[in-house]
């Protein structure tokens, strides 16, 4: 990975440190067509403190700290709050962001891009409906302690399987999220984002399938 400093171009940082792309997008820094601009200059143009933006990129590269809570014994309401506040919020932000990036890459590179839109689009639509059903129906039912969660849980498990199959297909189509040599920074950022989405969904589904749902069905 590149040693980050103020003189490296925005494009080089984005190419070699894909996690930086989310930060560049947040602040409106052009990492694609304007990628030849030095980082410090790009920040100055946007009226940003370069040190602050650099620190945010470094945090993004390091990634979030591992959650060490034992969710098998924590209050079940706290587990639901964690799932919503961590994983649902993440999906509600990332799915539209990745959809926009995919559209941009398709517009620029067309047939050179693997046929991932046909997989991502339906997956996004199903996941968004899935989150709503959990938040509006299943999670309130679990919180209440009333019986009747088995039916909704069966539906959620089936939809988790569907999302897992879509993730496997996306990984296959992209060759393990390895962008080709000719890929632009947006393309590379898209693949990095899809791989991060895969990691988060795996953790999300694990918490529900292996901890929340069994606890709910056991009557805890």
Residues 6 or more apart in contact with residue 93 via CB below 8 angstroms: none
Structure tokens at 217: 């069905």
Structure tokens at 110: 């067309």
Contact assessment for residue 12 and residue 35, using Cβ atoms and an 8 Å cutoff: yes
Residues 6 or more apart in contact with residue 63 via CB below 8 angstroms: 19
Alpha carbon separation from 22 to 33, 119, 122, 190, 202 (Å, rounded): 16, 22, 23, 10, 21
Strand, coil or helix: what is 67? coil
Series of mean pLDDT values for 10-residue runs along the chain (220 residues) = 77 81 86 84 95 91 73 94 96 96 93 93 97 97 92 95 94 93 91 92 89 87
**pLDDT value of position 33:** 65
How far is the C-alpha of 134 from the C-alpha of 154, rounded, in Å? Answer: 12
**pLDDT value of position 65:** 58
User: What CA dihedral angle connects 203, 206, 211 and 217, to 10 degrees?
Assistant: 140
Contact assessment for residue 39 and residue 175, using Cβ atoms and an 8 Å cutoff: no
146 φψ region: left (φ > 0), alpha (ψ -120 to 50), beta (else): beta
**pLDDT value of position 72:** 87
**pLDDT value of position 220:** 62
Q: Radius of gyration (Cα) for the chain, nearest Å?
A: 20
How far is the C-alpha of 127 from the C-alpha of 46, rounded, in Å? Answer: 35
* C-alpha torsion sign, points 118, 124, 130, 133: negative
Contact assessment for residue 214 and residue 73, using Cβ atoms and an 8 Å cutoff: no
pTM attached to this predicted model? 0.79
Contact assessment for residue 84 and residue 139, using Cβ atoms and an 8 Å cutoff: yes
Residue-wise pLDDT for 62-90, tens only, equals 776 567 788 989 999 999 999 999 999 99
Contact assessment for residue 68 and residue 76, using Cβ atoms and an 8 Å cutoff: no
Residue-wise pLDDT for 194-217, tens only, equals 999 998 998 899 899 889 999 999
Backbone angles phi, psi at 44, to 5 degrees: -60, -40
Domain ranges in the chain are: 10-62, 76-217
């Amino acid at each position: 990975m590149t040693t980050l400093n103020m003189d490296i171009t925005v494009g080089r940082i984005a190419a070699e440190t894909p996690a930086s792309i989310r930060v560049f997008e947040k602040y409106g820094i052009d990492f694609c067509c304007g990628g030849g601009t030095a980082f410090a200059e790009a920040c100055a143009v946007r009226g940003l403190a370069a040190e602050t933006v650099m620190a945010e990129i470094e945090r993004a590269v390091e990634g979030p700290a591992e959650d060490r809570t034992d969710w098998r014994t924590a209050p079940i309401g706290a587990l639901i709050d964690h799932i919503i506040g961590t994983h649902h919020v993440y999906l509600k932000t990332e799915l539209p962001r990745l959809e926009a990036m995919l559209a941009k890459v398709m517009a620029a590179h067309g047939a050179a891009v693997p046929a991932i839109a046909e997989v991502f689009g339906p997956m996004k639509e199903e996941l968004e409906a899935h989150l709503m059903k959990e938040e509006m129906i299943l999670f309130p039912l679990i919180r209440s302690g009333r019986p009747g969660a088995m039916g909704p849980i069966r539906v959620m498990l089936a939809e988790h399987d569907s999302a897992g199959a879509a993730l496997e297909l996306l990984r296959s189509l992209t060759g393990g999220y390895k962008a080709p040599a000719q890929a632009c920074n947006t393309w590379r950022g898209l693949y990095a984002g899809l791989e991060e989405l895969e990691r988060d969904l795996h953790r999300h589904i694990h918490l529900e399938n292996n901890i929340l749902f069994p606890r709910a069905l056991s009557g805890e």
